[in-house]
Amino acid sequence: MPNMEQEPKKISWHERAQTVLRHVAQSNKISMVMYGIGILLIAIIIFQTGMIIGRGKESIINEQKERYPINQPLPTAHGTAGKIISINLPTLLVADEDHTEKMVLLRDETIIRSLRASLLPNELSLDDYIVVIGTPTTKGYVQANLIRVLPKN
């Protein structure tokens, strides 16, 4: 009779890998490390997404700054708006909607605009509606930095 001893069964690499993975998955320490790595990967993905969105917003802001540069500091928030009721250069008398009258003092540096066109002070006329941005004086005038003439309807 032939020798009936069985040879050890050869295990494929695939079966061996499955056995090792099953053993590793049952270990509590390994499971905790795997959970930690998973949470870390999720945090990195969220962080990178925030960075990408931030860069996109930054590029939009920089593009807007290039398109619309501010060449001079913004004027202070003083001024008036209304209809010119008196012209005695270098001053204008402006009545607002509440019929409050304000004196506007023009300077050589005052910018006067109507739509895209620049105007001279003598081109202003009675009944023009204007918006004045400037600084207050101690005498109660508004010293005009910018006057915008509104189009007539």
Q: Does residue 3 lie within any of the structural domains?
A: no
Q: Is there a single domain that holds both residue 102 and residue 124?
A: yes
Q: Does residue 91 lie within any of the structural domains?
A: yes
pLDDT digits (tens, 9 = 90+) for 12-26: 888 888 888 777 767
Q: Does residue 1 lie within any of the structural domains?
A: no
The pair of three-digit structure tokens given for residue 112, joined into one six-digit string: 């006067």
Domain count, the chain: 2
Neighbours of 82 (CB within 10 A): 21
pLDDT digits (tens, 9 = 90+) for 107-130: 999 999 998 899 999 999 999 999
Q: Is there a single domain that holds both residue 83 and residue 142?
A: yes
Q: Does residue 109 lie within any of the structural domains?
A: yes
Domain interval for residue 128: 78-149
